[in-house]
């Protein structure tokens, strides 16, 4: 090998020397950053459109999560930077699928998460499943998630996992609440012709069977189209059957139309328990005095005895923090949105190999974490890829100027304390 004789001139020596002295300072700064590989997490939620209420706390939750993630997360002794890329589904399932594909193929996210109703969760999970990207979702009852995606019990899905409660829990919580009230066991059902309404009203898997088993007579006039302007026929049917309880799964405008017409037609049930429409304090407030005493399922509240595995904050602290930051009352999705990222952080820490999607999926499946919404552990699921968090029932009761959601029935989850007792309308 022929080597070139080294004859450094004074000028060359100074140049190389200066570069050598400066190098650690310049390269050091960039190298320390580059040494931390980045894990990208895609997040999809309905920030605009009819479902925007579900995502109103997104900024608050993501800010807190980003602060925790800013220090990086440790995996197998190596620190990873976590970048959350959040996109809007515009409350539209087609758009949700589109942004999910964008995140997977364009941003090349390593994990994708989504929350809020089958319209967001299902298309995102489907995209993740096709592209074999690990996916965690929440805030949608598991039946529409599992059966809505043509899941086969016993087989389940490859890369998509879900935590929330199911229809059986809602039915149990409702029956628990009605049972203690002593009203006549006649129920009027209002189920719209949408994913939720069809699941709730389904003769086999929905409310009718367990209600009949518990001795309730259900009057179900049939599926109505959402955004109907008239409920006089349903009200006439409920009056004829002497219904003292009204239940169902409605969107807020439909419930408001029904509830005003019920008063006009002289129909006064003693208990009104409606899923979805009565979740948010803003809806109850918009109903004014007629909002007092309406009841709903409760997935999460400041009284839930759980705390965050990430920040250590209790349910009450998380809810109060949101109220302080936004000036708005707490809502139930806040806890679940936070819990979603608790699971993500836990998975990133535990995964055997963050470059291998199947290792991430294995870490998701092996999750055993106490989150702010309760324990999340897919080994305890009712069906493949699904695990359940506790559910109780609550009633909106007026306290001074504001409405408070009192937990009035908790048989299924006695660890969540009662905060009030059911009052008849």
Residues in contact with another protein by the rule CB under 8 A = 48-53, 56, 91, 193, 221-225, 227-230, 232-234, 236, 252-257, 260-261, 263-266, 280, 282-283, 286-288, 290
Closest separation between CB of residue 94 and another protein, Å? 16
Closest separation between CB of residue 227 and another protein, Å? 5
Pick 189 or 381: Cβ nearer another protein: 189
Closest separation between CB of residue 253 and another protein, Å? 5
Pick 15 or 48: Cβ nearer another protein: 48
Closest separation between CB of residue 47 and another protein, Å? 9
Closest separation between CB of residue 286 and another protein, Å? 4
CB atoms within 10 A of CB 355: 10
How far does CA 64 lie from the centroid of its chain? Answer: 17
Closest separation between CB of residue 52 and another protein, Å? 3
Pick 27 or 236: Cβ nearer another protein: 236
CA-based nearest residue to 221, from 246, 244, 204: 246
235-242: Cβ within 8 A, 24+ apart: 235/261, 235/262, 235/265, 235/267, 236/265, 237/188, 238/188, 238/267, 238/269, 239/265, 239/266, 239/267, 241/186, 241/188, 241/217, 242/184, 242/186
Pick 52 or 362: Cβ nearer another protein: 52
Q: Quick one: tokens of 219?
A: 């009057």
Pick 276 or 304: Cβ nearer another protein: 276
Surface-to-core class of residue 98, CB atoms within 10 Å of its CB (0-12 exposed, 13-18 middle, 19+ buried): middle
Q: Are 187 and 219 in contact (CB under 8 A)?
A: yes
Pick 187 or 376: Cβ nearer another protein: 187
Q: Are 210 and 179 in contact (CB under 8 A)?
A: no
């Amino acid at each position: 090998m022929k080597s070139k004789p080294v004859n450094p001139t004074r000028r060359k020596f100074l140049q190389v020397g200066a570069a050598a002295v400066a190098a650690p300072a310049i390269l050091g700064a960039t190298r320390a950053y580059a040494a931390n590989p980045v894990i990208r997490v895609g997040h999809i939620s309905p920030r605009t459109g009819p479902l925007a209420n579900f995502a109103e706390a997104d900024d608050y939750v993501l800010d807190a999560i980003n602060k925790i993630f800013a220090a990086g997360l440790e995996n197998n002794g190596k620190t990873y930077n976590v970048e959350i890329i959040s996109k809007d589904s515009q409350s539209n399932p087609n758009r949700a699928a589109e942004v999910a594909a964008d995140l997977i193929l364009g941003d090349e996210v390593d994990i994708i998460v989504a929350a809020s109703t089958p319209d967001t969760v299902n298309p995102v999970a489907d995209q993740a499943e096709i592209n074999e990207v690990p996916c965690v979702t929440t805030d949608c009852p598991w039946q529409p998630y599992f059966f809505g995606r043509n899941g086969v019990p016993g087989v389940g899905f490859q890369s998509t996992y879900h935590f929330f409660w199911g229809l059986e829990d809602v039915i149990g919580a409702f029956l628990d609440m009605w049972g203690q009230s002593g009203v006549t066991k006649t129920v009027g059902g209002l189920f719209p012709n949408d994913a939720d309404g069809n699941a709730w009203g389904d003769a086999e898997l929905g409310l009718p069977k367990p209600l009949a088993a518990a001795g309730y007579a259900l009057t179900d006039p049939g599926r109505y189209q959402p955004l109907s302007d008239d409920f006089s026929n349903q009200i006439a049917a409920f009056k004829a059957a002497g219904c003292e309880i009204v239940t169902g799964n409605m969107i807020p405008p439909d419930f408001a139309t029904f509830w005003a017409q019920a008063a006009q037609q002289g129909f006064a049930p003693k208990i009104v328990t409606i899923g979805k429409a009565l979740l948010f304090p803003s809806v109850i407030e918009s109903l004014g005095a007629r909002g007092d005493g309406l009841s709903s399922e409760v997935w999460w509240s400041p009284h839930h005895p759980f705390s965050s595995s990430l920040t250590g904050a209790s349910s009450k602290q998380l809810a109060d923090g949101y109220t302080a930051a936004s000036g708005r009352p707490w809502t139930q999705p806040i806890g679940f949105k936070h819990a979603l990222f608790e699971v993500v952080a836990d998975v990133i820490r535990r995964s055997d190999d963050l470059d291998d999607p199947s290792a991430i999926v294995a870490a998701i499946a092996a999750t055993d974490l106490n989150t702010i919404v309760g324990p999340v552990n897919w080994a305890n699921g009712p069906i493949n890829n699904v695990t359940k968090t506790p559910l109780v029932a609550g009633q909106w009761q007026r306290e001074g100027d504001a409405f408070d959601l009192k937990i009035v029935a908790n048989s299924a989850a006695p660890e969540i304390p009662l905060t009030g007792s059911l009052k008849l309308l």
